[in-house]
């Protein structure tokens, strides 16, 4: 009888250890959690004013101001609205309204003339449960993860918060303005401090996905170590493109159809070139070295040749802001002083590693040579902290969790991946952390 009872207890204990943490006692769940989503996981609303309505437009864009937005002057969802992307005329409107403009005199980016934008739901996770709220089955983003955090004991607006942002904008190196990106970092700082104050002055867990991890790292770099130690308990980064991604060179060169067969990928190329954040995501030489990434009949390009590459594809206006604003910011991948970090990433998914262009040039789709990664970001980029931070004195703590056969967004949806995320949040709350660095 005693042996049978012990065996039953052992089985129950094993089950609890292997299952996702569903609920932690109130005493243990003490650190508020702020989620910062990835590039495509934010919502963006727009409004068109008279400057847009009455400016000279190409003939094919007349639809933007007539049939598409009969309620001009009211806010509408620009990103993401799948219905816009399904009809070629409205898709062209979308491409124009999404564009940013670089002003060399301001040394900063602004919206297209006549387009006002805003990011809804700041402070809440509601804006990134789904990419398109009208297409729930097709556009799930963080809904599963947020649901499990709720079951674990985190409650929206009490100890669970979200920090969405205008993903088109980025940041720049010292001495260069980034009005929109800097405003987001200030809002995120305020949210961190308010979340801490509302939770007995306990520090905050930052949980990020993809580009959100780069913003969070910049938040920590641009505030003092004393501030970080006071307000940040732990930084958990999922699928962060620390060193950029080869896929970004593909969409810069040949555009992106966004998965729609009726869209010519080149239709979005001007919009892709204009976004400040896209330059930030180009592969950097620190991570990718001098290995050729783009191979063409006329020349080969490595991550060290990005300015030459931009000129070659016709984006000569991209070169100066890339060299002056982005390159100084990505020269080093510094760890955040005084903040423990957990890097979690998938791998084992074929990911573009080399792009080979033939007779059609850059306007044709290339032959792709694949390597390892999470389907969007290369493994070398995903694991850059493990490579570059090991042994640095500024590094407080680093744990790297690698999840086989988990994709870039699968890390937010797959049961195995969500279980690992919840375990990590549980361990942070339980003070049980083991560094892998």
The H-or-E segment that residue 421 falls in is: helix 415-430
Residue 130 near residue 141 (C-beta atoms within 8 A): yes
Q: Where are the beta strands (DSSP E) in 311-377?
A: 340-347, 351-356, 367-371
Region of 382 (left: φ > 0; alpha: ψ -120 to 50; beta: rest) is alpha
**Which phi and psi angles does 396 have, rounded to 5°?**
-75, -45
In DSSP terms, 108 is beta-bridged to 103
Active site residue 408: yes
In DSSP terms, 84 is beta-bridged to none
Active site residue 210: yes
Q: Which of 374, 381, 407, 426 is catalytic?
A: 374
Edge-first strand order for the sheet with 76-79 is 76-79, 44-48, 115-118
122's tokens: 């700041």
Give me the helices (H) in 61-107, please: 62-65, 82-85, 88-98
Residue 396 near residue 340 (C-beta atoms within 8 A): yes
427 CB-contact burial (10 Å; exposed 0-12 / middle 13-18 / buried 19+): middle
Residue 258 near residue 86 (C-beta atoms within 8 A): no
The H-or-E segment that residue 46 falls in is: strand 44-48
Other CB atoms within 10 Å distance of the CB of residue 54 = 10
C-alpha dihedral sign at 182, 184, 186, 188: negative
What's the rounded Cα separation, in Å, for the pair 345 and 58? 44
What's the rounded Cα separation, in Å, for the pair 295 and 249? 11
Q: Which of 210, 254, 274, 381 is catalytic?
A: 210
Catalogue the active-site residues. 210, 374, 408
């Amino acid at each position: 009888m005693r042996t049978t009872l012990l065996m039953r207890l052992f089985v129950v204990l094993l089950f609890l250890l292997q299952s996702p943490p569903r609920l932690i006692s109130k005493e243990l769940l003490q650190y508020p959690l702020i989620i910062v989503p990835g590039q495509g996981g934010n919502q963006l609303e727009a409004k068109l004013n008279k400057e847009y309505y009455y400016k000279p437009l190409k003939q094919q864009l007349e639809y933007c101001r007539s049939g598409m937005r009969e309620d001009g002057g009211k806010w509408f969802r620009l990103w993401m609205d799948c219905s816009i992307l399904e009809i070629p005329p409205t898709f062209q409107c979308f491409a124009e309204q999404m564009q940013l403009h670089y002003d060399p005199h301001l040394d900063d980016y602004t919206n297209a003339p006549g387009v006002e934008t805003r990011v809804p739901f700041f402070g809440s996770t509601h804006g990134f449960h789904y990419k398109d709220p009208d297409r729930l089955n097709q556009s799930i983003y963080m809904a599963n993860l947020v649901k499990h955090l709720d079951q674990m004991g985190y409650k929206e607006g009490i100890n669970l918060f979200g920090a969405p942002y205008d993903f088109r904008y980025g940041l720049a190196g010292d001495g260069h303005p980034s009005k929109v990106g800097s405003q987001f970092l200030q809002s995120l700082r305020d949210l961190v401090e308010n979340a801490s104050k509302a939770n007995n002055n306990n520090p905050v867990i930052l949980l990020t996905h993809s580009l959100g991890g780069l913003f969070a790292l910049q938040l920590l770099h641009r505030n003092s170590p004393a501030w970080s130690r006071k307000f940040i308990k732990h930084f958990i980064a999922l699928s962060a493109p620390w060193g950029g991604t080869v896929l970004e060179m593909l969409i810069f060169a040949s555009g992106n159809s966004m998965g729609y067969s009726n869209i010519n990928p080149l239709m979005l190329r001007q919009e892709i070139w204009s976004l400040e954040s896209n330059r930030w995501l180009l592969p950097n030489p620190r991570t990718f070295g001098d290995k050729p990434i783009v191979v063409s009949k006329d020349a080969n390009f490595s991550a060290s040749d990005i300015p030459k590459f931009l000129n070659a594809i016709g984006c000569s206006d991209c070169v100066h802001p890339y060299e002056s604003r982005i390159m100084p910011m990505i020269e080093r991948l510094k760890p955040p002083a005084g903040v423990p970090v957990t890097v979690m990433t998938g791998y084992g998914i074929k990911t573009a590693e080399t792009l080979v262009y033939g007779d059609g040039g850059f306007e044709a789709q290339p032959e792709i040579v694949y390597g390892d990664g999470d389907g969007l970001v290369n493994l070398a980029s995903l694991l850059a902290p493990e490579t570059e931070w090991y042994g640095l004195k500024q590094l407080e703590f680093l744990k790297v969790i690698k999840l086989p056969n988990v994709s870039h967004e699968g890390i937010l949806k797959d049961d195995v991946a969500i279980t690992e995320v919840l375990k990590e949040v549980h361990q942070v709350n339980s003070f049980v952390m083991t560094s892998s660095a």
